[in-house]
Every structure is written in C-alpha cells, then in structure tokens.
Structure 1
Amino acid sequence: MTRVPAESWRNPASADLLPQEDASGALGTYDHRVEPLQPWTLGPRGRRWFDALLVLSLSGLALFHWAVGEPLNAVVSLSQILPLWWRRTHASLVFGVVATLSAAQVLVLGLHDPIIGQVAFPIAAYSVGRWGGRWARPVSLVVTLCACLVAGWAWSSWAVPDERLSSMVAPALSCAGMAVSAWALGVAGGQRDRFVRSLVDRAEQARAMAERDVALAAQDERARIAREMHDVVAHGLSVIVVQADGARYAAAQDPAVAVRTLGTIADTGRASLTEMRRLLGLLRTEESGVRPQPRLDDVPHLVEEAEAAGMTIEVSLPQEWPLVPDGVGLAAYRVVQEALTNVRKHAGPQARVTLGVTVDDAVRIRVTDDGRGAAGGGHGAHGSTGAGTGHGLVGMRERVAVHDGSMSAGPAVGGGWTVSARIPL
C-alpha cells in the first residue's frame, strides 16, 4: 500500500472546505488535510515489464524441452506462451488462440506427458475473465470446462476401456479447479476495475459539480455587487446633482450657502468613490471587503444626507434599533436608499417625504412623497401602474424576495408615490 500525498490528490474545487483553527482557537482559513489510501497497482510501464518477464520466463522454461531432445514439445509450448504478450489488449483473441493451440496439442502430442505450454491456458482464462468482453467471459468459461473434460479424457488413456470414464474424473476436476479458479479471479479483478472506474467517474462528476457551484456562487456574488454598485452610484449622483442645482441658484444671493453645499458635494462624491473602489476591488480580487456593509441602524445617515440635499422629510424611526440579521438590515437599508433616490430623481422640487420604519416580527418600511412622480411618469417610468422596467425597483424587489418578504410601489392616494416593503425576521 502506498500513501498518496494530499497535495497531489486534493480536489481543486473542494480543497478548502475543512475549517482550521488559528492560534486563538477560532475557525480561520480552510484547508484540506485528508490523505486517502489507494491500493497498490502497477502503472502502464510496470504492466509492460510484468508481461515481458512472464512471457520470457515461460519461454525460457519451454526451451528445456529442446534441451532434453523434445523440439516438437518446445515449439508447441512457445506457440501457446507467446500470445500472452497481448493478453491485456486482446484478451478474447488471445484466449481463443491459446485454446485452439491446446486442442491442437491433443491431436499432435496427446496429453500423456505435461508440457510447459499448458500453463498458458489458465493465464489466458484469467485474462479473458478480467479484460474480455461481456459475452467473451461466459463463452470462455464453457470452453474452459470443455477443455478440462478433454484433458481428463486424454490423461486417462492409460486406463482400460471399462475404467477410463471413472479414471478421467480426478484429472478433469484438478484441471478444472485450476483453470476455473484463474477465470474467477479474473472476473473478480475485472469487477474491481470497473468499480474503481465508476468511483473515479463519480469523483470527476462531483468535482465538475463543485466547480459549477463555485462558478454560480461567484456569478450570484457579482450580481449582488452590481446591485450594490447601482445603489451607490444612483444615490451619490442624485445627492450631488440636487446639491449642485441648489448651489447654482444660491450662489448669487448667499455665497456662504454655496460654499456649504459644495462641501457636501465633495464629501458625498468622496464617500461614493470610496465605496465604488471597494466594490470594484471585490470584482477584481473576489475577496471580502474590509468595510462593513450598511445595517439597519445606518438609516438615519440616509435621512441626514436627504435633509442636507434640501429634501423635506418627516421620519418615524425606532428609538432604539433592535438587532436584526445582517442580510435583512442591508436589504432594508438599500430599500430606503433607493426609495429616497427615486424621490430626488422623479418627485420634483418642493416634494415632501414621509419615512416610517418599524420592527416587530418583520422590518416594515414605508416611504411616501407628495410629488409629481406618478403623474409625470416618473419613479423609474412606471407610470400609474407601478410596473415598469426601472432597475431600482427591480433591485428592491429582488432584495426583499430573497428574505421571503413582500414589496409594493405605486401611486399614493391624493397624488405622489408610495413604496412599502415588509421583510420578515
């Protein structure tokens, strides 16, 4: 038995699936420490050498017939032994040739005295049992049994006619025991080879499926990052555009307001660029970011940015933010962010916004404005039905649906637009 190093066996798609503890005892990086044991087998070169030594050694023994003055026995033995060189690649043909030459031996020499070439028959039977075709194996067994009967009959030729039938039983059984045992060992070896090949095929299929799952997971992660990028860019640019428009109108009357507004624009632009660089880094390196994702308790920052951009907003938020799962918190944060971004883009000037967030058995979000977004075909060009093709609302629905939540967006009673979402905990 040989131990195969883990580095040469490890599955590249699942090699990093076993968690390892760091010095502090916490689960850290993943590594593969399994070193499987494999049965000892000959390689292609070893098999060639084995067959060569087998044929050469038996041929050398067959030449003893020549040395003792039996050249015909030596020729017959060599004719039976030499085909064994091709027993792995043409097992059925080799068995047929050896069986035919063994039958010819009975006609030419008889079986009164054994010869070295008779050893080739059980070897050929083993070979056809292991490497022969599906139908060659049962046919070779029948031929083997018939050959043993013929050999037993020939070996009992010394007996008187009345006792010959009983005298052939012992030699026929001994010949059949050796030849059939060799055939059975070959069949068992062939079954083992097929079983090992099936295991290898399954391992390859598992590796391919693992690689496919990794690729799908990477694709999903890239899609998530793309949605994050859309939210960051849309929110940051909408704040910058609104602030720039306000600064342009205020610069002539109150330069101080323009200065403050330009500072807000610069801060918003820098924050957006920082987050975009982080997301682009994720796309390039496929590593986890070092900056934490926004959470539910970061919603007040969105309100501050909206008010700084000149939006009139009335909020109803929890006094103390409860702990919610990170995924739910991020989804709620992005829903509020996208809703406020759509208000800036589509509700028009002087729009008033009402934002409410409650947390009980679910995170409930409601953003309502009294602008002209619905009447003007705004809010992602959804028109009066709220069923358009804007990426913002589609992204919000996808985020909420991931957590088995529900979301609706459409015109509000009395004018304006309402976005409502429920994300269960």
Structure 2
Amino acid sequence: MTTTGETHHEAAGGLWWWDRRRSAVFDIGLAVLSAAECAVEGFAFARRGGLPVGVGVLVGLIVGAVLVLRRQWPIAVVLVSIAVSPASMGFLLTVIGLYSLAASDVPRRITGCLAGMSLLGTLIVLWARMAQDQDRLEFGGWFVPFMAVTMSLGVTGPPVCMGLYVGARRRLMESLTERADSLERELQLLAERAEERAEWARNEERTRIAREMHDVVAHRVSLMVVHAAALQAVARKDPEKAVKNAALVGDMGRQALTELREMLGVLRSHEPKGVSASSGAGAAAGSYGSASGQASETSASASRAPLAAVGAAAAAAAFRAEVEQGPCLAEVDALVEQSRAAGMAVDLSVEGEAVPCDREVEQTAFRVIQEGLTNVHKHAPGAKARVRLAHRPGEVAMQVENGPSPDGADDGARLPSGGNGLVGMRERVTALGGVFVAGPTDSGGFRVSAVIPTVSAGGG
C-alpha cells in the first residue's frame, strides 16, 4: 500500500513504485508537461528578476519534474509547489499535487493543513500581482480581493475535492474486496466443515447401525445355536423335543432375517441419489471481480457440501424412526422366556411401578438386558442367570448376573464373540447420561448393570 492508497501487486513490467507500465508512462508524461510549464514560467521569472535565463529554465525543469513523485511522496510535491508559488510557476504541479495528496492515505489533518497553506500562498501571490496591476484596471477596490480569493479557491478547491472523492471510492473498493475475500474464506471453511459433519454423521450412523444389527441379530443367532446344540443332543433320545427345538430354531432364524431385512431395506430406500460429499471449495481470488465470482462458486460448493450431510442425515433419521419402533421394557418378559426356552435357568424380578420413559431410554435398557443374556449364552452355557429391573424416581436400573458354568458344561458350546457388545452398551448408556458397569463377580460369574435417567440427556 503506497501513500496514495493504491494497492500494488507484483506484476510483469512494473517499474520502481509503479505496478503497471501505463501508470509510469502517465506520471512521466505529466512530469514532462509540468517541467515544460515551469521552464517557461522560470524563463519569465528570470527576466523579471534580472537573473540568468539559464538558471531560471533549469530551476523550472527540476521543479516541474518533481511531479513524477506524486504517487510515492505527494507531501513533497505539494511542499515544492508551495515553495515556488512566489515565483508564479507550477500551476499544473499545484493542481495535480493537491489531488494526489487528497486521494492518498495521508491523515486528513495533514492534508487540510497543506491544502490551507497552498490556498494562502496562492491567494497572497495573486493578490500581490493584481495589486501591482490595479492602476491599469478601471474597477473599484473590491475587484482585487474578489478575484484573488476566487482564483485561489478555483486552483485549490476542485483538485482537493476530487482527490477526496477518488480516495474514498478507492478505500471503499478495497474494503469490498477484502470483505469478498473474507466471505470466500468463510464459505470455504463452511464447506470444509460441512464435509466434516457429513463424514461424522456417516461414521455415527455406521456405528449405530452396527450396534443395532449386533443387538438384534446376535441374540437371535446365539439362541439358535443353543437350540441347535440341544437338538443335536436329543435328536435320537426324544424325537418330540427335537421337533420342538427345530421349530424354535426356524422361528428365531426367520425373525432374525426379517429384522435384518427391515434394517437394510430402510437404508436402501433412503439412500441419497446424486449427492457428492466431496464438493470442492473455490480458490482464493486476486481482485475484486474475481473475488465476487469465485465467492459465488464457493457458495455453490458450500451449498453442495451440506447436501451430503443432509443425505446422510436423511438415511439416519429414517433409520432412527425405524429403530424407535423397536423393543421396550414391556417386552422383557418375552425376552426372558426365549432364554428359558433355550434351556437357561433365568430368574426375573421387577421392582417398583413402571413410569413413562423416553423411547430411547426404554430401548437401551432392553438392549442391556438382551446383551447380558446373550453373553450368558455365549460364555457361560448352562449357568443360572438373574435379571433385575428396578423402576426408581427419575431413573431405571437393570442388572443381569450369572453364576459360573457347571463343571460338566461343554466348553465347545461357547460361542465366538467379537468383544463389541459391552463396548456398544457402555457407549449407549453413557450417551443417555447413565452409568454402566460390567465385570466378574466373586463367585466366578459375571455381572452387567446399568442405571439410566428416565429422560435422556439429549431429550431435555
């Protein structure tokens, strides 16, 4: 930024403090005209003052050439014009110098002071010269001061006003350019954040879907495996019981497939079409025009990026709506009966009166009990289990505890486990503002317990 308020960039063909060749040519042309004018006026001044003509012309050339510095040092140009005003030279130097000073970023008090000094100097010189010629004029005494004031104002006023207008307009354009660049950066940041939110939403839904599929399918499959093992054991000894176990296996398999198909169907039916999550942001602009154009492109990019989050959120909302139709605490009895039918000895106790809970709270409590029973099937076949459900003021507590497996239990009946069930339950319970604890008991068994507020942390 120079003192004239112009922002100069590195450009091909720049010369000294000029950013463009045409600016340099323009200023040099003005300096040549000013030098020629001052040389002519210096010639006349030298003849009137009895000085060598060559000296007057040389001084005029040097003084006029100072105008070439108007963009870099406008104060120096105005001071030189004030200094040579008694010699009646430098009209172009004064006008262009005052304009350049007013259009620059020089503080306004300095601009006003120098403009006042130039006005006073021009007024005194004009008054003195016109007073010398008053004898040849036939006007009254009012004419000299009137003409001196009018001409001095005409020389200093218009260039100062024009310079102030051009400087204000230039600063306004710079402000708009800076604002456009800032807006473009903000839009680019918004686009990047939208992409991050879309990716975060996708990851969250992947985790949520994995949890739901684990809860729904793993329990059913574990029961199927238990029934299949029982079927294998009694197939020859008790054909009637074998038929009954086979029917249970078939029913559980069909239920697992139905629930799995419903989940996948929801995801496919709400899959976003034609939405790209990897929208790019516009590049930074180097001028005001390109800044506005690229800001609009970045705005379009930023508007496309949230569509990815909207697409992922649409599938997530649909999946959550489907999940909200899932199990509740009223189905705990049926859940326990399924485990009993698989041969597990389960004791269920319910304390307190059921109170209204958020749907997500009831579903999470049900899943905790379901996961606890599934773990008994997987890791402690033949062990006795106890399920406790307590409704308390402002919270609901649940506990699944099993003893050690009997000594005669077949270790080969233990089912494989990925170790993610308890992790998922802990994340769910803590997300609702509850407490989750799981670990072995002193008797050699295992205990899973949780306490969840009846109103979820996100439900207000």
| Higher relative contact order, chain-length normalized (CA < 8 Å, sep 6+) | 2
Residue 221 (structure 2) aligned to one of 237, 252, 263: 237
Q: Which amino acid aligns with 1:344?
A: H
In structure 2, distance between residues paired with 1:344 and 1:251: 21
* Structure 1 residue 218 displacement after superposition: 2.0
Question: CA offset at residue 403 of structure 1?
Answer: 1.7
Match of 1:311 among 344, 349, 357: 344
Match of 1:355 in 2: 387
2:397 matches 1:364: yes
CA contact (8 A) 2:403 2:445 kept: yes
Q: Any conservation in 2 of the 1:294–1:330 contact (CA below 8 Å)?
A: yes
Look up the match of 1:297.
330
Which of residues 413, 421, 434 in structure 2 aligns to 1:392?
Answer: 421
- Gaps of at least 5 residues in structure 2 are 1-13, 41-68, 83-89, 96-121, 131-147, 272-311, 455-460
Deviation per CA, 1:252-309, whole angstroms, max 9, x where unpaired?
Answer: 1222212221111111111111222233345553521446232232322311211221
Match of 2:430 in 1: 401
The one-letter amino acid of 2:398's match is: I
Q: State the 1:412 CA deviation.
A: 2.4
SS in 2 for 1:317: strand
CA spacing shift, 1:301–1:320, aligned 2, 3 Å: farther
The residue type paired with residue 350 of structure 2 is L
Query: Does the 8 A contact of 1:238 with 1:344 survive in 2?
Result: yes
Taking only the aligned residue pairs, the percentage that are identical comes to 31
Superposition pairs of residues 22-421 of structure 1, within 5 angstroms: 94-108=22-36, 139=72, 142=75, 150-151=90-91, 162-163=128-129, 168=152, 170-284=154-268, 285=271, 287=315, 288-289=318-319, 290=322, 292-317=325-350, 321-349=354-382, 351-360=383-392, 361-372=394-405, 390-421=419-450
Instruction: Tell me the amino acid that sits aligned with residue 103 of structure 1.
Output: A
After TM superposition, give the deviation of residue 98 of structure 1 in Å. Answer: 2.1
Q: Which amino acid aligns with 2:229?
A: D
Q: Which runs of 5+ in 1 are unaligned?
A: 1-85, 113-135, 382-387
Query: Could you list the per-position Cα deviations for residues 13-32 of structure 1 after superposition, in whole angstroms to 9, with x for gaps in the alignment?
Result: xxxxxxxxxxxxxxxxxxxx
Larger Rg: 2
Going from structure 1 to structure 2, the CA distance change for 1:340 and 1:141 (only over 3 Å counts) comes to farther
CA distance in 1, matches of 2:452, 2:71: 67
Q: Greater helix share, 1 or 2?
A: 2
What is the SS of the residue equivalent to 2:228?
A: helix
Instruction: Report the CA distance shift for 1:173/1:100 in structure 2 as closer, same or farther (over 3 A).
Output: farther
* Distance in 1 (alpha carbons) for counterparts of 2:74 and 2:402: 88
Q: Provide closer, same or farther for how the CA distance between residues 146 and 218 of structure 1 changes in structure 2, counting only shifts above 3 A.
A: farther
Shift of 1:140: 7.4
Contact 2:70 2:77 in 1 (8 A): no
Q: How many residues align?
A: 302
- Pair 1:358–1:94, CA change in 2 (3 A): farther
| Superposed displacement of residue 92, structure 1 | 5.8
Q: Any idea what the Cα deviations from partners look like across 1:124-174, whole Å, max 9, x if unmatched?
A: xxxxxxxxxxxx998476588679875456788xx7794499855531332
**Could you tell me the TM-score, scaled by structure 1's length?**
0.61
Could you give the per-residue CA deviations for residues 1-51 of structure 1, whole angstroms, max 9, x where no partner exists? xxxxxxxxxxxxxxxxxxxxxxxxxxxxxxxxxxxxxxxxxxxxxxxxxxx
Distance in 1 (CA, whole Å) between partners of 2:263 and 2:448 is 27
Structure 2 distance, partners of 1:326, 1:143, is 80
What one-letter code is carried by the residue in structure 2 that aligns with 1:322? V
- Read off the aligned partner of 1:202 and give its amino acid letter: E
Aligned partner of 1:41 in structure 2 is: none
Distance 1:191 1:110, change over 3 A: same
Q: Is the 8 A contact 1:297 1:321 kept in 2?
A: no
After superposition, the Cα gap between the structure-2 partners of 1:163 and 1:137, relative to the gap in structure 1 and judged at 3 Å, is: closer
What is the rounded CA distance, in whole Å, between the counterparts of 1:418 and 1:267 in structure 2? 29
Mean CA deviation greater in 145-154 or 397-406: 145-154
* Residue identity opposite 1:172 in structure 2: T
- Amino acid in structure 1 at the alignment position of 2:33: Q
- The structural deviation recorded for 1:222 is 1.0
- Cα offsets for 1:299-326 (capped at 9, x unmatched): 2231121122111111012586432112
TM-score under structure 2 length normalisation: 0.57
- In the alignment, residue 297 of structure 1 is paired with which amino acid? A
Shift of the 107–301 alpha-carbon distance from structure 1 to 2, 3 Å rule, reads same
